[in-house]
Structure 1
């Protein structure tokens, strides 16, 4: 697959943007589900029932018989005729039974972000044998497309407290986990009863659940873990923390993974949270990275800055100076090591301390 251009180069004819290929042993399948929560009204639009769109990513077989999935975005073509990447996922492909029971990892995006914004990380975890569930938080996400072409856009009032937004995301996550349990029992929770991929119900492991998020999505992970004890391990990719959960004891493993200029030495919310972590706790810093390094912007912006309204000199301010492909490789490696350890009972020396193979990662002690 075509590599991203170095930060100081702009492709002459970028055409279709690309994401790095997954590194795991399995091919990847994906399916979008439309879920309705009969027990909740929408917190942002009075009178509406709470509805969510989620995507499931998983190890798949016979993928050549199923179409490659686009990113879940309402705008596939950007200015200048640049098109968003085709993912490594194949829509509706059967689950690869050789992967056995699949640990579940949930993903929550940044504020107003979409469930597709960390696809480089998500599809890699799926290729390593995980069922990854990405959430759009309706009316917080800037635009969610539902079946039939219905769009639901951001309706959050200006100045909405981040603690309130995070509480809503925690409730969304709890509901989605309940729907996964329904799938594991052989039911189909999709509102339109879209056929589920063959083998999915037998593959879901609701006893091994983790969660990660980027920016505000990472900030929502502690609240989700307090709201649902089934989440056994959590990871926050460079997200500030809000709400009372910062000061509540949490006895499950947690990974804080920060950009170059953000960690618990500079973020009081991280420092307070750190003091209340009583399971395994890790505070890692990725040298040379920026806040946008923890989403697909890291790899997409350098390929065609103009399509995103950026000039090349702006990129280091947004993405840092780390090589984009190296940044994604490191994040994939450490996320997989963390979830492998805590959802699969493996041990990775990578998490014990600094590695000569990844000198860009600092362990903040």
Structure 2
């Protein structure tokens, strides 16, 4: 059984799903009304001996099965351990309100693939709302039993990513933020969330993070949506108008050790049109999939003799898995704590002061 690293913060973590429908938009792939399923982690009341939720919801689990099958690991040979979050627990009453962090997964990925990051942030007093981008995510299992699969090829040209996928994802992000805002003022909307959660959302402090194309979405969302105050891009290319316009919002950018993006447009130290704080860093010993839960899953399968070490190294590098997870968690928390005034340090100072010898790059 593959185990998920426990969150490090003092708060019990709750998790829930929110289905939302945007009547103003049609789905670009089906022509139907755009529907989304959002997975939300949040600080919760103590859960006693209640059972925790699964590590990944059904869509994330089916994506994981397909991913590992592609690497040669049959489903019957592995299982995911439980998560550390409690389904639909009432929100914690003390210590808030809690800043909101939107999350956009990588291309084709589903929510649940960054559970180690999300649970840890929630345990430290953040609400994390991760978005399944329907018909691009591998599979989205809606509460009524429908399963919407991807229709977007993973080898789509960059023009499709830039001109269709990223704009669709940014629109999804803005709509989810609208729905969370509605929950703070409308009783019917609030009732769709766990007890007390709508009252604990701090929508004056909104950030965003994402991996791969989710990182691209994060940076473009900073450009397009002024309610999002800061973002973290995990190894995603800079696509769309933000590449030429820049953004005034602070951005932390963590590239893998062999990233093809690092040193290219938007990633290079000098981004002349960017007016905000940008911290572009590279994490030695990592690969592209290091910035997802594959960082903890694949090495455990290798240790169990189910996956060749070379296959794991190609996906997540040679960095110690727990060290990599710790770096990601600490960087996320330190960056957003500084942006939202939860620490005394400025953004650049806070990142500079981290004890992270694997992380280096120009300022």
Q: Same fold (TM over 0.5)?
A: yes
Alpha-carbon distance in 2 for matches of 1:345, 1:26: 16
Pairing partner for 1:361 from 337, 359, 362: 359
Find 1:113's aligned residue among 105, 109, 113.
Answer: 109
8 Å contact from structure 2 (residues 339, 347) kept in 1: no
**Aligned partner of 2:118 among 116, 122, 144:** 122
Does residue 219 in structure 1 map to residue 204 in structure 2?
no
Q: Unaligned stretches of 5+ in structure 2? A: 66-73
Structure 1 residue 233 and structure 2 residue 218: aligned?
no
Task: State the structure with bigger RCO (CA 8 A, min sep 6), 1 or 2.
Answer: 1
Question: Do the aligned partners of 2:7 and 2:120 also contact (CA within 8 Å) in 1?
Answer: yes
Structure 2 distance, partners of 1:59, 1:250, is: 31
After superposition, the Cα gap between the structure-2 partners of 1:23 and 1:348, relative to the gap in structure 1 and judged at 3 Å, is farther
2:278 to 281, 306, 321: 281
Post-superposition CA distance 1:228-247 (Å, at most 9, x none):
11000011000112122211
> Would the alpha carbon gap of residues 259 and 188 (structure 1) be closer, same or farther in structure 2, given more than 3 Å must change?
farther
Normalised by the length of structure 1, the TM-score is 0.88
- Please list the CA deviations of residues 121-174 of structure 1 after superposition, one character each: whole Å capped at 9, or x if unmatched: 011000000010001000010100001221000112673611120010000000
Higher mean alpha-carbon deviation, 92-101 vs 349-358, is at 349-358
CA 59–345 in structure 1, closer or farther in 2 if over 3 Å, else same: closer
1:185 paired residue number: 185
Partner of 2:94: 98
Q: 1:43 aligns with which of 15, 25, 28?
A: 28
Matched with 1:331 is 328
Shift, 1:308, TM fit: 12
CA 1:210 to 1:273, structure 2 compared with 1: closer, same or farther past 3 Å?
A: farther
The aligned runs of 1:55-70 (5 Å cut-off) are: 55-64=39-48, 66-70=50-54
Secondary structure in 2 aligned to 1:226? helix
Deviation at 1:279, TM superposition (A): 1.7
Please state whether the residue corresponding to 1:97 is helix, strand or coil: coil
Aligned length: 346
Is the alpha carbon distance of 1:82 and 1:338 closer, same or farther for their aligned partners in structure 2, counting shifts above 3 Å?
Answer: same
Say whether the 8 Å CA contact 1:79–1:307 is kept in structure 2: no
Report which stretch shifted further, 179-188 or 335-344.
Answer: 179-188
Aligned counterparts of 1:343 and 1:260: Cα–Cα separation in 2: 29
User: In the superposition, relative to structure 1, how do residues 80 and 341 fare at CA in structure 2: closer, same or farther (>3 Å)?
Assistant: same
1:300 Cα deviation after fit: 0.4
Higher mean C-alpha displacement, 261-270 vs 126-135: 261-270
